[in-house]
Amino acid sequence: MTLAGLLEDVPHTILQIGGGMSQDISNISIDSRKVEAGGLYICLLGLTVDGHKYIDDVVKAGVIAIVVEKYNEPTQETSPWSKNSGRIHPRPAGYDGRFQTQESFPPNVVIIQVENTRQAMAYIAANAYKRPAQKLKLIGVTGTNGKSTTTHFIEDILRDCGHKTGLIGTNGARVGDVPVDVPFATSTTPDPLELHKIFAIMLERGVKYVIMEVSSHALAFYKVEGLVFEVGVFTNLTQDHLDLHGTMDSYRLAKALLFAQSRFAVVNADDKSTPVMLAFHGSDPYITYGINNNAGLMALHIEYLADGISFDVLVDGDSTTSEPSRTESSRRLVVGEAGLSQVRHRRLRRGAPIIDAKYRLLRATGRRVSGYIPNRSKPGSYFDEVASNVSGKPLANRITINVKGRFNIYNSLAAIATCSHLGLTMKKVCAAKICGVPGRIQDVPNNLGVHVLVDYAHTPDGITNILSSVRDFTTGRVIIIFGCGGDRDATKRPLMGQIAGELADLCILTSDNPRTESPKKILAQIEEGLVPTGTSYKICENRHDAIVMGIEMLNSGDALIIAGKGHEDYQIIGTETRYFSDYETAQETLKRITRSKTPTRRH
């Protein structure tokens, strides 16, 4: 594609014309070490490195065009966090802008200046692959916990109903069961150059729906800039990534950015950050889901089974509230055979106050249901719901999911609401098979009468959820093995120690990607919160040995949670990445113990 084609709809200034805008660009790179002759180099400002410093190097490598960022004097508002937007504008140490403002650039190279190179890169990447996302239905899931599981649940339902899907997230990218061979360095959401290449491949393979995890990093750094999501899903928000975002407010605002780009929102009625998500969503329609607060989709009559959970999915909410004034704004919501997809606006009174996200059933006649649901960023609306159920009973469907944990009820409700909005009937949605996700409350099979579970929990809320859930089905002790990642948010370490001490019977502290930090220092910070609880604990810095220790301590009826890494198959120690799998280590240890307890046959 020509340079002019790549820059279509991208506001820019040509600082130097070089070989001209009609030149064909052979490749695009943001890494000066990977540029190729005939390519375009985009200078990014990183947290520690200024890509503009490598202009001379990339010119020597043969690039014919460079995109630079307009120099803006660092201020408290823009460095490194934009407090009012959730965006991150890095200003690496020593940043002075001289590479962006130099009077002369290398000759014969086109120099393009933009306001923000990260933002521009998203549009350049889309143009490079002929904007494939516009031909796909995108479903974005954001939140502190539950992103991977919710995306997998949505995929399970859509595939079970015959749709071809693409999945992008922590476990990589794939179409159905076939991986997409586009590796990406970031852990959750690919950079734009990789992301749009993945979209193009998925479109070529006949995908209709792309379900993707959208991290706060991706939103703050413009990775999904320009995309329009058919559905944006909010799972929850608790403390994490404060090493990057600085404050919970900035972290919350970053998450909320997804909903400014979503046509329809599916949000958690039981999470206190939901009003912020809806404020960003503006006047577009949405539905809530939950367990504790009234919601558009609720789970009732929950039953914890040996290998999963069964519950009723209620679409009509609480029938005990009184009818609100008809001066409120209104919309029509069609359910039943039409799913939750047909939303027709009737009246909108602006200026209504934001209140807790709730859905309240007022009358159920069997043919027409009038109800009250806070709507848009100005909640408070009327709607008429045309139901397929003519018996006059609440619209409830029983569903069984083959995964454990109360938190997975929330994840499944989010998936059900999403798929219903996409036009699937509740009957089909609730009949679909929802399976477990590797590394998420994943059982390691054994015949020793113990529960051994591998889980990705690595936040205070994650530790709370996994311990509470495992306690529900455990008759003996609950033991947890965990640590905290190095070079990441240190403020959560004592809090995780405190929570583990309060909810577990025994804690084993170990390493979890210590990176360049001292493992002993990290473990000491966890101890600060753990010790005051008085719960017994052990320290075993070597993660392999800690897992072996934990399994060998189990008695019949006990449960061991190996938390923090989940599906990951590596440990980062210093700057070295080493192969390591919690699941495989536990599996091998259980097999060894089983063999040692099996009587030898005499011949």
Q: What is the pLDDT of residue 306?
A: 77
- For residue 589, pLDDT beyond 90: yes
Mean pLDDT of 534-548: 97
Q: What is the pLDDT of residue 337?
A: 29
Q: What is the pLDDT of residue 519?
A: 95
Indicate the fold that domain 442-597 takes in CATH: Protein-Tyrosine Phosphatase; Chain A (3.90.190)
Q: What is the pLDDT of residue 79?
A: 37
Q: What is the pLDDT of residue 98?
A: 64
Question: Which architecture characterizes domain 129-431 according to CATH?
Answer: 3-Layer(aba) Sandwich (3.40)
Can you tell me which residue has the tokens 């494939």?
132
Mean pLDDT of 510-525: 95
Q: How many CB atoms lie within 10 A of CB 273?
A: 21
Measure the CA–CA gap between 290 and 95, rounded to whole angstroms. 46
CB 554 within 8 A of CB 524: no
603 CA to centre of own chain: 57
Which secondary structure element, helix H or strand E, spans residue 175, and what is its range? strand 172-175
- For residue 213, pLDDT beyond 70: yes
Mean pLDDT of 79-85: 45
Strand ranges across the sheet with 40-42: 13-16, 110-114, 65-69, 40-42, 28-29
Mean pLDDT of 465-487: 92
Residue 288 pairs in a beta bridge with 267
- Per residue, what are the HEC states of 372-399? EECCCCCCCEEEEEECCCCCCCCCEEEE
Q: Is it true that the peptide bond before 80 is cis, omega within 30 degrees of 0? A: yes
CATH superfamily of this structure's domain 3-127: MurE/MurF, N-terminal domain (3.40.1390.10)
Q: Do domains 3-127 and 129-431 have the same CATH topology?
A: no
Q: What is the pLDDT of residue 461?
A: 84
What ranges in 474-560 are assigned the alpha helix state H? 492-503, 519-530, 543-552
Closest to 299 measured CA to CA, from 268, 329, 272: 268
Mean pLDDT of 457-465: 89
Measure the CA–CA gap between 221 and 554, rounded to whole angstroms. 45
Measure the CA–CA gap between 271 and 238, rounded to whole angstroms. 9
| pTM for the structure as a whole | 0.76
Confidence of residue 286 (pLDDT cuts 50, 70, 90): very high
358 CA to centre of own chain: 24
Per residue in 172-199, pLDDT (tens digit) is 999 999 999 888 777 789 999 999 999 9
Angle between helices 147-160 and 407-421 (to 10 degrees): 50
Highest average pLDDT, of 43-47, 183-187, 274-278, 426-430, comes from 274-278
- Higher pLDDT among residues 402 and 588, named by residue: 588
Which secondary structure element, helix H or strand E, spans residue 123, and what is its range? helix 117-128
Q: What is the pLDDT of residue 365?
A: 25
Residue 332 pairs in a beta bridge with 344
Highest average pLDDT, of 401-405, 469-473, 527-531, comes from 527-531
Q: How many CB atoms lie within 10 A of CB 603?
A: 3
Q: Per DSSP, which regions of 350-464 are E strands?
A: 360-364, 368-373, 381-386, 396-401, 442-443, 451-455
Token representation of residue 62: 């043969």
- For residue 323, pLDDT beyond 60: no
Q: What is the pLDDT of residue 83?
A: 42
Measure the CA–CA gap between 363 and 17, rounded to whole angstroms. 68
Q: What is the number of helices (H) and of strands (E) in the chain?
A: 17, 29
Measure the CA–CA gap between 193 and 183, rounded to whole angstroms. 11
Per residue in 568-585, pLDDT (tens digit) is 888 999 999 999 999 999
- Per residue, what are the HEC states of 574-597? CCEEEECCHHHHHHHHHHHHHHHH
Query: Sign of torsion, CA 336 337 339 344?
Result: negative
Instruction: Return phi, psi of residue 308, to 5°.
Output: 170, -155
Q: What is the pLDDT of residue 566?
A: 87
Q: Per DSSP, which regions of 227-274 are E strands?
A: 229-234, 262-268
CA distances from 401 to 155, 232, 306, 432 (A): 14, 23, 11, 9
Token representation of residue 197: 């290449």
Residues 234-271 as b or e (16 or more Cβ within 10 Å = b): bbbbbbbbbebbeeeebbbbbbbbbbebbbbbbbbbbb
Measure the CA–CA gap between 91 and 75, rounded to whole angstroms. 10
Measure the CA–CA gap between 5 and 22, rounded to whole angstroms. 8
Mean pLDDT of 553-566: 94
CB 228 within 8 A of CB 138: yes
- For residue 441, pLDDT beyond 60: yes
Q: What is the pLDDT of residue 170?
A: 87
| Polymer length of the chain | 603
Judged by DSSP in three states, 109 sits in coil
Mean pLDDT of 155-162: 96
Q: What is the pLDDT of residue 268?
A: 96
Residues of the chain with pLDDT > 90, as a percent, come to 61
Q: Where are the domains of the chain?
A: 3-127, 129-431, 442-597
Q: What is the mean pLDDT of the chain?
A: 82
Measure the CA–CA gap between 3 and 128, rounded to whole angstroms. 10
Q: What is the pLDDT of residue 101?
A: 60
Measure the CA–CA gap between 537 and 508, rounded to whole angstroms. 6
Q: Per DSSP, which regions of 235-359 are E strands?
A: 262-268, 286-290, 297-305, 308-314, 329-334, 342-347
Per residue in 38-57, pLDDT (tens digit) is 999 999 988 788 999 999 99
Q: What is the pLDDT of residue 317?
A: 46
